[in-house]
A and B are shown apart, each in its own frame.
Chain A
Amino acid sequence: MAKVILTQLKTKNSTQEDLKKTIKKALEQLDFDFKKGINSIVIKPNLCYYWDYSTGETTDPRVVATIIDELRNMIGKNVAISVAEADASAMKTKYSFDVLGYREMCKEKEVNLVNLCEGEIINKTAKVGDKELNLPVNTILLKADLVVNVPKLKTHNVMGFTCAMKNMFGAIAKPYKYSYHKVLAHAIVGINKEIKSDIVIVDGIVAKGRYPKKLGVIMTANDVLANDFVAARIMSFNPQRVKYLKLAAREHVGEANKIDIIEDNVKMSEVKAAFPCYSHFRHRLSWRLQLKLLRLYGRIVKDVIPPVLED
């Protein structure tokens, strides 16, 4: 049975000690067998923008630093750990690693910092439903004994809902991932079929919906789909109506039904009530309508449309 553990930090400003205790306890509760010959670990945070953790958009480097410490405690000091992220359409890791504090953190923790678009990359063909997708993947992810997915608890302007499965989409070794946006649901499911997240640790310390909010939540799971089903409910989405979650359940990417939700020191309903919900459907509809009206206005009045609003 898939397990999802919901915990909340005791302090609002997430002290190091609090973070350490919370992540340690959550990992212990997962009952994951850390003794089964793990030599290499890849941690995949969400670093898709240049906006730091305080905006709720990207994973807090302190969370990743704590995970590194705890994994070393549980597995051994000599385990090879890499923190990995790929370049994105509007983000280059060579800057974001510095901007978001990852280069400094990885140096301090003596772990590798990897741009997944560099190094040995192989093309995987993922069959999802009736579609076949070509997905370039860095072999570091394929060779890892343990993949730790560290997404954010936040909403996404295209998908609406986003969490662990969408975070893995960011691992595709191709900078211009915008090219997948027409088949986004299939691409998300495809990459999660190719790369299995062994553990998911969601950084909900600062969550992001309509605005960023300090929730102090850490969610841990041993199943990527189960994690996303729970996260979706927290963010007031019906997981059965999120296209890629539905597709992932159909493709058996993970467990969608038998989920053991452990509410450690916080109730799911409390987190849901505190999350700053945002109707992305309404937002997208309103943007689309505004852009359509703008184009109509431009044609009738012959006014200038600024290039920034071109699609």
Chain B
Amino acid sequence: MGKLHLLNALHIDDVSVIAAADKSEKNRKSVERYGVKTYDDYRELIDTEKLDAIIVSLPNFLKKEGVFYAAEKGVDVFLDKPLARNLAEANEIIQKVEREKVRLMVGVNYRYFESVQKLKEVFDEGRVGNVIITTSDLILNGPFSHPLVPAPVPEWWLDKKLSGGGALLDLGYHLIDILVWMFGDLEIAHSELRHSLNLPVEDAATLMLKSKNTEATCIVNAGWFSRSVFPDFNFRINIHGTAGYDSTDHYAPKNMRVHAAKEGLKNFLRRIAMKEVHYLSYTYYYASFFDILKIFFESINKGTDFPIPLNDELETMRIIDTVYDKHEEK
């Protein structure tokens, strides 16, 4: 994701990309062609350059170290989700940024899908009445996705100590984060983790959560087990209320290729009319990464609060941690 963030940052107004760091020479070379200075150690980058903010896009087991280093140098941080490998680490990260008086925003990009934004609006306005049941699904191929040029799955993904968990922490995190955003406090009524791929980390998770505020039941289905090829995208949230129902599917493109063509044409016309292009909107999925990063930088430039409260992320981590603890006890 690091390279995508870098490409996005290069297209955001009022942002100067100073440098990028990557251990891999191949990766460094691939970004140097955009005129970006590179380092092979992020610590050297932070020590050398004068920065307002940094994007930390590291494997889960290196996140804490990366955020700590940036915080100690007084640099605000955009951090890829999940916040941490577990709740204890998440608390340490948040305490550290508070102590160092730097700001941290977690890249929960799913909140910025147009379909999720619209569903949240419907929910907030009470257009479906009191929501009694919510179901949410995010089932893809996780780390086994196949880019155009095949590459092996980085092994840290499959090592629980390094990753912190599997499908629940990786994909379930997005669903729980949205449910926390919608409902506030949630309690776990039931949970199930599956290892159908015989890996050390779970490849499927089903949770039943109860909203303490509204008593709504929320189902979370997250999985890595399903073969999907970009632009396939098996994600939805359905809300069932006393006055009707709604779904993110109602606001998502029906046909991704037709959507890409339409959005591409719109952007082409915007460019001709010298209007602002909606970057990556043709992909639907990746536009959310652009939008959340843009909001992060706007908040930095304006000195306003980040729109994603860290308490939401702590709550998401608490739920996930509780599920893992429960299943480890078993």
Contact = CB atoms under 8 A, between A and B. Distances in A.
B227 A301 contact: no
Interface string A277-311: 00000000000001000000100111111111111
Interface stretch (B127-135, B145-153, B186-194, B207-215): B145-153
A91 interface: yes
A146 to B, nearest CB: 29
Interface residues of A, number: 33
B271 A307 contact: no
Nearest to B149: A311
Contacts of B279: 303-304
A51 interface: yes
Interface stretch (B3-11, B67-75, B86-94, B173-181): B3-11
Interface stretch (B103-111, B246-254, B280-288, B298-306): B280-288
Contacts of A297: 264, 267-268, 282
Most buried by B among A95, A300, A302, A303: A303
Interface in B259-299: 264, 267-268, 271, 277, 279-280, 282-283, 286, 290
Contact of A178 (B4, B150, B230, B271): B150
Interface residues of B, number: 34
Contacts of A303: 11, 264, 267, 277, 279-280, 282
Contacts of B150: 88-90, 178
B15 to A, nearest CB: 14
B245 interface: no
A50 B277 contact: no
Contacts of A49: 144
B230 A99 contact: no
A55 interface: yes
Interface string B165-203: 000000000000000000000000000000001110000
Contacts of A95: 153, 158, 199
Contacts of B8: 304
Which 8 A-B residue pairings sit nearest by Cβ, starting from the closest? Answer: A90-B150, A89-B150, A98-B198, A99-B197, A311-B148, A307-B3, A304-B7, A306-B286
12 contacts: A55-B227, A92-B152, A92-B153, A92-B155, A99-B199, A178-B150, A297-B268, A297-B282, A300-B268, A302-B277, A303-B267, A310-B148
